[in-house]
Amino acid sequence: MSKRKLVLVGNGMAGVNVVEHVLKLDRDAYDITIFGKEPHPNYNRILLSSVLAGDTGLEDIVLNSWEWYRENEIQLHTGRAVTRIDTKEKRVYAEGGISAPYDELVLATGSDPFMLPLPGADKEGVIAFRDIKDCETMMETAKQYKKAAVIGGGLLGLEAARGLLNLGMEVQVIHIFDTLMERQLDREAARMLRMELEEQGMQFLMEKQTERILGGKRVTGLHFKDGSSIDADLVVMAVGIKPNVQLAKESGIEINRGVVVDDWMATGVPGIHAVGECAEHRGTVYGLVAPHREQGAVLAKRLCRLETEPYEGSVTATKLKVSGVDVFSAGEFNDGPETRAIRSQDEWKGIYKKVLLRGNRITGGVLFGDTSDSAFLLGCIREGREMTDEIHASLMGTATGGGGSAVREMADDDQVCDCNGISKGEILSAIRERDLTDVEGVKSCTKAGASCGGCKPLVASILEEELGEAFDPAASAKTPVCSCTDLTRDEVVDAIREKGLTMVRETMNVLGWKDPEGCPKCRPAINYYLNMVRPGEAEDDRTSRVVNEQRHANIQNDGTFSVVPRMYGGVTSPAELRRIADAAEKYNVRMVKVTGGQRIDLLGVKKEDLPNIWKDIGMPSGHAYAKGLRTVKTCVGADFCRFGTQDSIGMGIQMEKKFEGLDTPHKVKMAVSACPRNCAESGIKDLGVVGVDGGWEIYVGGNGGVNLRGGDFLCKVKTQEEVLEITGAYLQFYRETAEYWERTSGWLERIGLEAVKKAVVDDCENRKQLLKRVEKALDNYQDPWKADSKDQKTRQTLYEETRV
C-alpha cells in the first residue's frame, strides 16, 4: 500500500518540529515533502542573536543537516516558496514550476518582520532582524560603518542592539514608550534593565516616534516627530512581527491575524493544518517557540491518528538573551486592581523579584538579576498553584542566586527547558544513565539548553543537586572566548605563554581561529592578553582595540567626543583651569562638566579637533575611555578636614601617578578617604583606601554601578609605601587572572576573596613577583596623545578622514 503524502510549507522551527514528531511516532506513515523559501536547511532562528553577538557561529545553528533530510527520505525544496494551493486537487505549486500532491498539508510559514511604512524605509541600510541574511548584512555593515539605530526596545531590538555593540558599532535604541520591553516588564524591572544596558554602552532615545528615514540611496539618519534627528549608517527595525498568511488567504483558508486553527491545529479546509507563528489559536498568535512545540506535539499525534488531548493555549514566558543581563517574565506582570504582588528587591546585588497573585493563585511574575528560579515560578503559574509558605520561601526567601532552593521544590515532571520541553525528570535520568557531569553533556543528550540557553543555570543546579561535590561548576562554565574558537581565556593565555606569540593575527592563525579575521569580541581580548603576558615585546594592535581606545576619547551620542584631562587625585591648578577654559572656548565645546570621579569633562569635541585640543590643554590623558586606571578620587584629608587621620590627597596622587596608563581587563576606579566617613566613596571602588589611626585599610572589588557592590576588606597596612605595594600586586593579579571585559567586582566573586588575599597579602614572595611584573608593564607606558602627535599617519587615518 502506498504511503500517504505529507507536505510541509515552511522549513522553519515549528514546521520541522512537527515532522520530527511524526517520524518518531510512525516512521512509515508518510512520504514527506518540505518547501522552504530560505536557501538553508532548518536552523535555530533563536540563536541568530547569539551569532550576531559573536557567541555562536552560523555553522553551529543548523538544527537539521542536509544529511538528516536525506536519511529520512524527505523531499526537500529549499529556496522555493509555495505560491498556490489547489485545495480541491490537494496539490501545492511552488516557484520554479514544482508541484506536489498532499493528503495532509501543514502550513508553517511563520512571520514577516513588521516594517514601519516610513518615507525612506526602502533605502539601503534599512533592514529587519529575522533571518541569516539580515544577520550577515549587519555583520558586513559593521566592518564598514559605525553608527547603528535600532527602532524598537522589545526583545528583538535589545538583542540586536547588544549584537551590534559587540560588532563595534555605536548603537542607539529608539523606543516609542518610556519603558523598555513594556510587553514583558513592569516599570521597575524595565528601569533596572535600562540602567544595566546603558552601563554596557547602549544608548536610548525614549518616547520617540520616527517620522522619516534620511539619506540618498543609503540611509544616513532618522528624523523624529519632535523635530530632532540623529545620524545612522544602519537602521534595524524591530517593532514586531506579522504572521505570514498570504498563501492561506489566497487559497480560501480562514484567516484573522493568523491562520485560524482549532484545538487540533486544523484549519476549516479538510487536510490543511497550521502551526507556529503563522497560526492563530483561540485569538492568540504566539511569537515564541515553546507554544509552537506544544502545538506541534498535538498536531503530530493527530497526523499519526493517535489519541491526543486538545491544545488549549499556552502560558508564555520570555527571557532576554543579552549576556550579563538576566531578565525573565511570565504570565501577568503589571499590578492591577484584582492582583496582589509579592516583591523583593536587593539593590546591592541588582536583584528584583515580583510575583503576582489573583486571590491566592500565582498568575505571573518578573525576575531581574537572578533568574535561577524562573522554571519553578513558571511551573507554579502554569499549574495555577496556590501560594504557600514553602513556595514563598523558595521564590522570595534568599536572593543569593544558584537556584538551589527552587530546584529541590521542583517535581520530576516540572519543565526545565521551555524551548525544548525537557523536564527535570528527563534530565535526572540522563545524568544517571549516562554519567553526565556537565551542562554541555546534558545539552547534547537531552537538548535542554540547546536553544535560547536560558535554562542552563537551572541545569547546572540540577547537576549540583544530583552530584553534590562531584559536580564541577568550572567544567560547566567552560566558555570559549567567542564563537571564533573553542578555546577558553585560560587556554589562550597559556598558549600565548607557551608558544611565544606576540601578534593578534599570528595568535588567531596558530590557534586555528575559525574566522581568520576574528571578531570585535576576541580581537581586543587577544590584544590585551598578548600585552599582559609580553609587555614591551608584543605588538599593540590598535585596530584590535575598541573604538574609544583607538581614538583615546569617548564617543558621544551625537558623534562628537569627550575630552577628560588627567587631574591626579582630583587636584588641579589655576593654570590648568585657564588652559581648559581657553580650549573649551576655542573649540566650541558644548558643555564643561565636573565628573563623579572629580575630573573636568569637555563634552562635544569634534573628532578632527581632538589632537589640537589635547595639545592646547597640555595635560596628560585621563584615560576616561580606557580599560585601565580611570581615576583616583580623594577626600580633602588631614590637611584640611578636622576628622582626617591621613594625607588622602597625597596618597591618591601617588597611586594615580604610579599606575596611570596600565591596561587592565576592564576599567578600574580607585579612591582614598582619610577617615571611615569615606567622603571619597572608597567602599564602592575597584580598590578603595581608608585612612585609620596608625595606617590604612584597603578594600577591593567594590562597584558603584548597576550591580552595586560594597568592597571587601583586604588588609590593613601602616605606610603609604605598603599601600602602593598592595595596590600594585592586586592590580597585577587582576590583570593576570580576569577575563577581558570582567570588572573586579565579578572577578572577585568568581575567584573568591581568599585567593586574592593569599596571592597579594599573605604570600610575600608571590607579591614581590607580581610587583616585578606590574613594573615591567608600567615601563612601556607613554601618554597616548603625545605618541599620536608625533605620528602624522595615525593623525590622518584616525582623526582627519570623514568616517568615524
For ligand NAD, the binding residues (CB under 6 A) are: 116, 151-157, 159, 174-177, 182-183, 209-210, 238-241, 287-288, 318-321
8 Å CB contact between 661 and 735: no
Within 10 A of 116 (CB to CB), how many other CB atoms are there? Answer: 15
Q: Which is nearer to ligand FAD, 15 or 215 (CB)?
A: 15
Bridge partners, 236 (sequence order): 127, 150
157 binds ligand SF4 (CB under 6 A): no
Among positions 106, 148, 150, 288, the unique one binding ligand FAD when judged by CB under 6 A = 288
Q: Which is nearer to ligand SF4, 241 or 636 (CB)?
A: 636
3-class DSSP assignment, residue 454: coil
**Distance between start and end Cα atoms, the chain:** 68
Sign of the dihedral defined by the CA atoms of residues 767, 769, 773, 779, in that order: positive
8 Å CB contact between 445 and 482: no
Within 10 A of 438 (CB to CB), how many other CB atoms are there? Answer: 19
Q: Which is nearer to ligand NAD, 41 or 153 (CB)?
A: 153
Sign of the dihedral defined by the CA atoms of residues 48, 53, 59, 60, in that order: negative
Taken as a whole, the chain contains a residue count of: 804
292 binds ligand FAD (CB under 6 A): yes
Among positions 6, 9, 189, 662, the unique one binding ligand FAD when judged by CB under 6 A = 9
Within 10 A of 564 (CB to CB), how many other CB atoms are there? Answer: 23
C-alpha grid cell, residue 624: 576616561
Q: How far is the CB of 250 from ligand FES (least distance, A)?
A: 35
d(CA 624, CA 659): 14
Name the strands in the sheet holding 229-231, side by side, starting at the edge strand that comes first in the sequence: 210-215, 219-224, 229-231
- Among 289-297, 493-501, 671-679, 712-720, which window interacts with ligand FAD (CB under 6 A)? 289-297
Within 10 A of 528 (CB to CB), how many other CB atoms are there? Answer: 21
8 Å CB contact between 356 and 363: yes
Among positions 448, 522, 613, 770, the unique one binding ligand FES when judged by CB under 6 A = 448
Binding-site partner at residue 449 among ligand FES, ligand NAD, ligand SF4, none, CB < 5 to 8 Å by type: ligand FES
Q: Which is nearer to ligand FAD, 69 or 734 (CB)?
A: 69
| Residue bearing cell 516557484 | 95
C-alpha grid cell, residue 663: 591596561
User: Binding pattern to ligand FAD, positions 47-86, x when CB under 6 A?
Assistant: -xx-------------------------------xx----
176 binds ligand SF4 (CB under 6 A): no
| Residue bearing cell 570588572 | 743
- Please provide the DSSP assignment of 757-798 as one string: HIIIII-HHHHHHHHHHHHHHHHT---HHHHHHT-HHHHIII
Q: How far is the CB of 679 from ligand SF4 (least distance, A)?
A: 3
Q: Which is nearer to ligand FES, 419 or 700 (CB)?
A: 419
* Most distant CA atoms of the chain, gap in Å: 100
C-alpha grid cell, residue 41: 536547511
Residues 6+ apart with CB under 8 A from 739: 489, 525, 665, 747
Residues 472-511 that bind ligand FES (CB under 6 A): none
d(CA 756, CA 673): 22
d(CA 154, CA 195): 15
C-alpha grid cell, residue 452: 535560547
User: Binding pattern to ligand FAD, positions 98-137, x when CB under 6 A?
Assistant: ----------xxxx-----------------xx-------
Q: Which is nearer to ligand FES, 397 or 401 (CB)?
A: 401
Q: Which is nearer to ligand SF4, 113 or 644 (CB)?
A: 644
Q: Which is nearer to ligand FAD, 107 or 481 (CB)?
A: 107
Q: How far is the CB of 450 from ligand FES (least distance, A)?
A: 6
d(CA 289, CA 277): 9
Residues 238-267 that bind ligand FAD (CB under 6 A): 244, 247
8 Å CB contact between 351 and 196: no
C-alpha grid cell, residue 31: 512520504
Q: How far is the CB of 290 from ligand FES (least distance, A)?
A: 8
Q: How far is the CB of 202 from ligand NAD (least distance, A)?
A: 15
Nearest residue to ligand NAD, scored by beta-carbon proximity: 287
Among positions 82, 375, 674, 726, the unique one binding ligand SF4 when judged by CB under 6 A = 674
d(CA 408, CA 411): 8
Residues 125-144 that bind ligand SF4 (CB under 6 A): none
Binding-site partner at residue 116 among ligand FAD, ligand NAD, ligand FES, none, CB < 5 to 8 Å by type: ligand NAD
Nearest by Cα to 420 from 458, 471, 371: 458
Nearest by Cα to 443 from 432, 462, 458, 456: 456
Among positions 248, 289, 530, 605, the unique one binding ligand FAD when judged by CB under 6 A = 289
Q: Which is nearer to ligand FAD, 130 or 623 (CB)?
A: 130
Nearest by Cα to 515 from 488, 484, 490: 484
36 binds ligand FAD (CB under 6 A): yes
Among positions 195, 510, 641, 751, the unique one binding ligand SF4 when judged by CB under 6 A = 641
Q: Which is nearer to ligand FAD, 81 or 708 (CB)?
A: 81
Q: Which is nearer to ligand SF4, 56 or 648 (CB)?
A: 648
Among positions 14, 167, 174, 356, the unique one binding ligand FAD when judged by CB under 6 A = 14
Mark out the alpha helices in 222-366 (DSSP H runs): 246-250, 289-303
569 binds ligand FES (CB under 6 A): no
Q: Which is nearer to ligand FES, 451 or 707 (CB)?
A: 451
Q: How far is the CB of 571 from ligand SF4 (least distance, A)?
A: 14
d(CA 418, CA 409): 18
Q: Which is nearer to ligand SF4, 239 or 672 (CB)?
A: 672
What angle do helix axes 574-586 and 610-617 make, rounded to 10 degrees? 150
Residues 383-422 that bind ligand FES (CB under 6 A): 417-420
Among positions 30, 35, 699, 734, the unique one binding ligand FAD when judged by CB under 6 A = 35
Q: What is the DSSP letter of 273?
A: E
Residues binding ligand FAD: what is the number (CB under 6 A)?
35
Among positions 64, 560, 673, 703, the unique one binding ligand SF4 when judged by CB under 6 A = 673
Nearest by Cα to 195 from 396, 369, 343: 369
Q: Which is nearer to ligand FAD, 98 or 641 (CB)?
A: 98
Residues 415-434 that bind ligand FAD (CB under 6 A): none
Residues that bind ligand FES (CB under 6 A): 417-420, 448-455
Binding-site ranges for ligand SF4 (CB under 6 A): 635-637, 641, 643-644, 648, 673-675, 677-679
What residues make contact with ligand FAD under the rule CB under 6 A? 9-15, 35-38, 45-46, 48-49, 81-82, 108-111, 129-130, 156, 244, 247, 276-277, 287-290, 292, 321, 452
